[in-house]
């Protein structure tokens, strides 16, 4: 498959511009200046670019060391969406359109601004949740514009809107969702993710989902560490491309693995349905509605995406599930084009 080699060569030649020293990068103000950029969880140097391309379960090519474990940044957000689907399937969340305060009574959803926030609002980044969690206030990420990340200031004084009326990418609010899910499960989220997703998939045991040093709370009388939906301030999911691929293949298989339903297909369909306020976003998952985000991919393509060039790409039309680690984000669309051309 000579065209696939061209795609692999392109990926190998377009490593992320992020430095290998991730701590220095984050502390330099990549997301925000000091003191708001203080690291609170583990952060480790990253490895070089790597990738794995599969179609209908068959591996078509690899780049670099696909068993290199690195932090994934916001790919963990999509994993939170999967956990929310499991909570719904288990009956722990009877209705995602009901206020979270009905199930989570830790004070985080009691204020006038927060009392009407639903699970759907949190899953679609439309909650407008206000407050501080684990030493970070939601104002840190208010007014965040992903297209100018690191090059423009945010707007911490932006006036809040009613829940469900404004879309914003805000990591503090995603972390608040993570804590809410831990309350309804009454168990550590990494333990749930391991038991319900990773172990059934046959993943290795060397992935981890790490929290902040100050993220310990009491749930059901037991101390538990909350985990973030990314690596913005350290921690998050560290995993290699091959296990990351398994989660993508589970999505492509409508949540069924070896005859066992791990996540309901109906939930996965909701994850990739555009939210009302942003057609490029579903439940903590990036979409390609109208082929606006990635012109080279199909309109039904979707990605679990993390800063710095971390991507799980699912292409339903071609049967493709691909993982790119530390691929220059500016090269992602061309990589998609070359891969799709190779399998056409």
What the block records as the tokens of 234 is 């350290």
Mean pLDDT, rounded, for 232-238:
98
Is the CB of residue 33 less than 8 Å from the CB of residue 321? no
**Dihedrals phi, psi of 268, to nearest 5 degrees:** -60, -35
| pLDDT above 90: percentage of residues in the chain | 93
| Other beta carbons less than 10 A from residue 9's beta carbon | 12
- 8-state DSSP, 46: -
- 8-state DSSP, 228: -
Does the predicted TM-score (pTM) go above 0.95? yes
Per-residue pLDDT at 54 exceeds 90: yes
CATH number for position 171: 3.40.710.10
Per-residue pLDDT at 149 exceeds 80: no
Domain total in the chain = 1
Residues in the chain: 344
Residue in this structure with the two tokens 């993508």, named with its chain if needed: 248
pLDDT of residue 209: 98
pLDDT of residue 147: 73
Mean pLDDT, rounded, for 141-164:
85
Give the CA distances from residue 334 to residues 147, 339, 341, in Å, rounded to whole numbers and listed in that order.
18, 9, 10
pLDDT of residue 146: 82
Task: Determine the angle formed by the axes of helices 75-89 and 171-185, rounding to 10 degrees.
Answer: 30
What the block records as the tokens of 60 is 């078509």
Is the CB of residue 39 less than 8 Å from the CB of residue 26? yes
Residue in this structure with the two tokens 């790490």, named with its chain if needed: 210
Provide the mean pLDDT of the chain.
Answer: 96
Reported in sequence order, the residue ranges of the chain that DSSP labels E, i.e. its strands, are 50-55, 58-63, 70-71, 132-133, 136-137, 208-210, 216-219, 222-225, 236-239, 256-257, 260-261, 286-287, 302-306, 310-315, 320-325
What the block records as the tokens of 16 is 């992320």
Is the CB of residue 183 less than 8 Å from the CB of residue 103? yes
In DSSP terms, which residues pair with 137 in a beta bridge?
Answer: 132
Going by their DSSP bridges, the two strands 302-306 and 286-287 should be labelled as antiparallel
What the block records as the tokens of 43 is 């952060």
For 130, residues 6+ apart whose C-beta sits below 8 A from its C-beta are 111, 113, 114, 138, 160
H-helix segments, the chain: 2-12, 22-27, 75-89, 119-123, 171-185, 189-193, 199-201, 241-252, 265-271, 332-343
Per-residue pLDDT tens over the stretch 104-125: 999 999 999 999 999 999 999 9
Distance of CA 199 to the CA centre of its chain: 19
**CA torsion, ordered 137, 133, 210, 236, to nearest 10 deg:** -40
Distance of CA 235 to the CA centre of its chain: 13
What the block records as the tokens of 50 is 């790597």
Per-residue pLDDT tens over the stretch 302-313: 999 999 999 999
Mean pLDDT, rounded, for 221-228:
96
Per-residue pLDDT at 148 exceeds 90: no
Per-residue pLDDT tens over the stretch 241-267: 999 999 999 999 999 999 999 999 999
Mean pLDDT, rounded, for 64-74:
98
Mean pLDDT, rounded, for 264-282:
97
Domain span holding position 229: 2-343
| Other beta carbons less than 10 A from residue 201's beta carbon | 16
Per-residue pLDDT at 288 exceeds 90: yes
In the three-class reduction of DSSP (H, G, I as helix; E, B as strand; rest coil), residue 257 is classed as strand
Per-residue pLDDT at 1 exceeds 80: no
Per-residue pLDDT at 275 exceeds 90: yes
What the block records as the tokens of 63 is 């780049």
Is the CB of residue 265 less than 8 Å from the CB of residue 256? yes
Per-residue pLDDT at 2 exceeds 90: no
pLDDT of residue 280: 98
pLDDT of residue 155: 87
What the block records as the tokens of 239 is 């995993």
């Amino acid at each position: 498959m000579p065209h696939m080699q061209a795609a692999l060569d392109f990926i190998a030649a377009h490593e992320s511009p992020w430095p290998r020293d991730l701590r220095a990068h984050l502390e330099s103000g990549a997301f925000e200046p000091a003191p708001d950029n203080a690291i609170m969880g583990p952060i480790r140097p990253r490895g070089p670019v790597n990738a794995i391309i599969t179609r209908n379960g068959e591996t078509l090519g690899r780049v670099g060391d696909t068993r290199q474990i690195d932090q994934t940044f916001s790919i963990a957000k999509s994993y939170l969406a999967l956990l929310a689907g499991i909570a719904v399937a288990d009956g722990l969340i009877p209705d995602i359109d009901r206020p979270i305060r009905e199930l989570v009574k830790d004070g985080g959803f009691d204020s006038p601004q927060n009392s009407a926030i639903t699970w759907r609002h949190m899953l679609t980044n439309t909650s407008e949740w206000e407050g501080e969690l684990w030493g970070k206030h939601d104002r840190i990420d208010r007014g965040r514009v992903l297209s100018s990340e690191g090059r423009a200031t945010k707007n911490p004084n932006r006036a809040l809107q009613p829940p469900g009326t404004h879309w914003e990418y805000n990591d503090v609010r995603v972390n608040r969702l993570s804590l809410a899910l831990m309350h309804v499960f009454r168990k550590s989220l990494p333990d749930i993710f391991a038991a319900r997703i990773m172990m059934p998939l046959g993943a290795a045991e060397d992935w981890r989902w790490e929290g902040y040093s100050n993220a310990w709370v009491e749930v059901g009388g037991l101390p538990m560490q909350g985990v973030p939906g990314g690596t913005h301030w350290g921690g998050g999911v560290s995993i290699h491309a091959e296990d990351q691929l398994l989660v993508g293949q589970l999505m492509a298989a409508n949540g069924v693995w070896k005859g066992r339903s791990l996540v309901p297909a109906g939930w996965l369909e909701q994850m990739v349905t555009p939210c009302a306020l942003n057609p490029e976003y579903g439940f903590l998952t990036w979409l390609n509605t109208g082929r606006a985000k990635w012109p080279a991919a199909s309109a039904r393509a979707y990605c679990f995406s993390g800063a710095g060039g971390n991507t799980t790409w699912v292409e339903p039309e071609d049967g493709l599930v691909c993982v790119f680690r530390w691929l220059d984000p500016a090269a992602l669309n061309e990589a998609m084009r070359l891969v799709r051309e190779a399998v056409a």
